[in-house]
């Protein structure tokens, strides 16, 4: 199985901040990397697919980059509704695997 | 509009069987893989497996193979996740989710989740 490691596991930030979350794969996954946002009690929501493509309807303050083994999700100008947990997921090979999550809370 | 509507919460005893469902609408059910994701209380997301309703081709996470059965009934656009003998450790929220493309990819649309509680 491909292991996905996210860092940090949690962070505190303020509205308006720029937030960076990283995800590392245990082997190369090309650009088969997705990012999800999950709010408490809700299903995850796809933000970014194929490492850097913004899902329809997702605000442009979210961006993704990377390829191979190292990936980054950036939230620029953090908004109150962005406080949530973020997960990366690889879709390069089965089983699909998720990172452990990064919880973004209010400083 | 793509929608995945899951069956309601369940409370079961250890050793009981269970089948939960995920009714799809708004797209061609037979053309997209649909999978299941587990989230244990306070924990992260875990991919369980996936089925292609067009021909019932099914793939499982090796860690869960043999513990659950994933299936689909294309005549009613519904996917299923079932257990033959539940354990307390099966207590979790279960989400169905459609693959982003017609191949196996990460999900784009998700169901609302089905909470399964297993307790004696």
- pLDDT (tens digit, 9 = 90+) per residue, B46-91? 999 999 999 999 999 999 988 999 999 999 999 999 999 999 999 9
**Is the CB of B45 less than 8 angstroms away from the CB of A43?**
no
Among A83, A91, A30, A2, which Cα is nearest to B97's?
A: A91
Least CB–CB distance from A34: residue in B46, B63, B106: B106
**Is the CB of A97 less than 8 angstroms away from the CB of B113?**
no
Query: What token pair was written down for B80?
Result: 């299923």
Over range A6-22, report the average pLDDT: 97
Q: How far apart are CA A28 and CA A37, in angstroms?
A: 23
Over range A59-80, report the average pLDDT: 97
**Is the CB of A96 less than 8 angstroms away from the CB of B112?**
no
User: Is the distance from CB of B87 to CB of B14 less than 8 angstroms?
Assistant: yes
DSSP per-residue codes, B68-89: BEEEEETTTTEEEEEESS--GG
Instruction: Indicate whether A35 pLDDT > 90.
Output: yes
Q: B102: distance to nearest CA of chain A, Å?
A: 13
B45 vs A: CB within 8 A: yes
For the CA atoms of A14, A24, B48, B116, the dihedral, rounded to the nearest 10 degrees, stands at -30
pLDDT at A78: 96
Over range B87-99, report the average pLDDT: 97
Q: Average per-residue pLDDT in chain A? A: 97
Instruction: Indicate whether A90 pLDDT > 90.
Output: yes
**Is the CB of B100 less than 8 angstroms away from the CB of A1?**
no
B63 vs A: CB within 8 A: yes
B27 vs A: CB within 8 A: no
| Confidence band, pLDDT 50/70/90 cuts, at residue A106 | confident
Over range A40-56, report the average pLDDT: 97
Over range A48-70, report the average pLDDT: 97
Instruction: Indicate whether A30 pLDDT > 90.
Output: yes
Q: How far apart are CA B57 and CA B54, in angstroms?
A: 8
Among B111, B116, B81, which Cα is nearest to B95's?
A: B111
Q: How far apart are CA B21 and CA A105, in angstroms?
A: 34
pLDDT digits (tens, 9 = 90+) for B11-21: 999 999 999 99
**Is the CB of A95 less than 8 angstroms away from the CB of B108?**
no
B111 vs A: CB within 8 A: yes
pLDDT at B102: 85
Instruction: Indicate whether A26 pLDDT > 90.
Output: yes
**Percentage of chain A lying above the pLDDT 70 cut:** 100
User: Is the distance from CB of B117 to CB of B10 less than 8 angstroms?
Assistant: yes
């Amino acid at each position: 199985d491909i292991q996905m490691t996210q860092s940090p596991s949690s962070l505190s930030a303020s509205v308006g901040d720029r937030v960076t979350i990283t995800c590392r794969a245990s082997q190369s996954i090309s650009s088969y990397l997705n990012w999800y946002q999950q709010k408490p009690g809700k299903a995850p929501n796809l933000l970014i697919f194929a490492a850097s493509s913004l899902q329809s309807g997702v605000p442009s303050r979210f961006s993704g980059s990377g390829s191979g083994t190292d990936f980054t999700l950036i939230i620029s100008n953090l908004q109150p509704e962005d406080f949530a947990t973020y997960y990366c997921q690889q879709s390069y090979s089965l089983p699909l695997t998720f990172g452990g999550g990064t919880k973004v809370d209010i400083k | 509009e793509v929608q995945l509507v899951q069956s309601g919460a369940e409370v079961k005893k250890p050793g009981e069987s269970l089948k939960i469902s995920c009714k799809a609408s708004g797209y061609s059910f037979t053309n997209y893989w649909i999978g299941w994701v587990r989230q244990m209380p306070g924990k992260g997301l875990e991919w369980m497996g996936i089925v292609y309703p067009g021909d019932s081709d099914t793939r499982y996470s090796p860690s869960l193979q043999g513990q659950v059965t994933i299936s689909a009934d294309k005549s009613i656009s519904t996917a299923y996740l079932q257990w033959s003998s539940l354990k307390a450790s099966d207590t979790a929220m279960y989400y169905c989710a459609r693959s982003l493309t017609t191949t196996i990819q990460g999900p784009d649309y998700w169901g609302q989740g089905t909470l399964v509680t297993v307790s004696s």
